[in-house]
Structure 1
Amino acid sequence: MDITIRQATPEDVADITTLFRDTIINVNALDYNEKQIAAWASVANDTDIWIERISDFYFIVAERDTEIVGFAYLKKGYYLDGLFVHKDHQRQGIASALLRTIESQVMIEDYPEIRTDVSITALPFFEDRYFDIVKKQKKTFKGMAFQNYIMKKTL
């Protein structure tokens, strides 16, 4: 696996939002219904939010050759707010590499744990990486209820 992890730039926003939308539509659709997927995927349409995330948070991308194949970002120094891997590059170690980089950043910033909200789809990935479920919850977004999990890992 030849991937490079680097800081995201505003120039990456089109690739990031396309990857986000395509992953939700093709991967998360296994665990959520059509209306939930449409609501969730619509977040990709607001490029201003993504540019703000890239500017304000620790936001990294994974590249293979020159293609962005995944991304992850931290909010508040310890909260993993997003981790997505391209639909055609699942189960190739990309999410693990992104998570290791994120966890290293959390430790550099001297936080004792990392927290995240995890979709049903991503739950097995995080459980396999020693995250514990804090709480199962229902969140409402754009009028749709989503089941997900608050998880944490002591570093």
Structure 2
Amino acid sequence: MIQIRPATLEDIPEITSLFRDTITHINKKHYSEKQINAWSSGADDVEEWKKRIAKFYFIIAEIENNMVGFAYLKNGNYLDGLFVHKDHQRQGVGSKLLRIIESQVMMNDFEVLKSDVNKTALPFFDNKYFEVLKKQNKSINGAGFENYLVEKQL
């Protein structure tokens, strides 16, 4: 059974570990080693994670008190991150996190949820009725990434 709760500062070591592991194991099929290293190095910026937890709607998914995913919402309707543990892919964790995020967006009086999603995650969002607005290039720590701006009408 997947439980959802708010993130706390004490969760940062687990959040950053899950973030790094997901990128290095799941996203490696679509991105180069240089891109993976640049992207996963975001786990090292503890101050940035503290800010996200303090400022954003940031939730954790757990199964039997073990963190299996997290998601955070910025500016009321922008999904800035959704990550599922490498060993818990395709088990409903991402879907449950997304449903909670969508409910929060509607409670914030927005009718649209937007996000920038990577190539690996695009089929998940496509499956959840998100529409691709545009393909774009983004730079993370000096590495270029192709990703997609998507939105969903709620």
| Structure 2 length-normalised TM | 0.99
The 2-side partners of 1:56 and 1:140 are apart by 23
**Shift of residue 48 of structure 1?**
1.0
Q: Is the partner of 2:67 in helix, strand or coil?
A: strand
Secondary structure of 1:36's match?
helix
Q: Which residue number in structure 2 is paired with residue 120 of structure 1?
A: 119
Would you identify which runs of 4 or more consecutive aligned residues in structure 1 move more than 4 Å?
A: none
Structure-2 separation of matches of 1:3 and 1:31: 28
User: Which residue of structure 2 lines up, in the alignment, with residue 8 of structure 1?
Assistant: 7
Matches within 5 A, 1:4-153: 4-153=3-152
Distance 2:67 2:20 in 1: 14
C-alpha distance in 2, partners of 1:143/1:70?
27
1:135 CA drift (Å): 0.3
Structure 1 residue runs without a partner (length 5+):
none
The residue identity in structure 2 corresponding to 1:31 is H
Between the aligned partners of 2:5 and 2:141, the Cα distance in structure 1 is: 32
For residues 4 and 55 of structure 2, what CA distance do their matches in structure 1 show?
Answer: 18
**Distance (whole Å) between structure 2 residues aligned to residue 100 and residue 108 of structure 1:** 12
Deviation at 1:141, TM superposition (A): 1.6
Partner deviation per Cα, 1:120-144 (whole Å, 9 max, x = no partner) = 0000000000000000011112111
> How many aligned residue pairs are there?
154
Unaligned runs of 5+ in 2: none
> Percentage identity across aligned positions?
58
CA RMSD in angstroms comes to: 0.5
How high is the TM-score relative to the length of structure 1?
A: 0.98
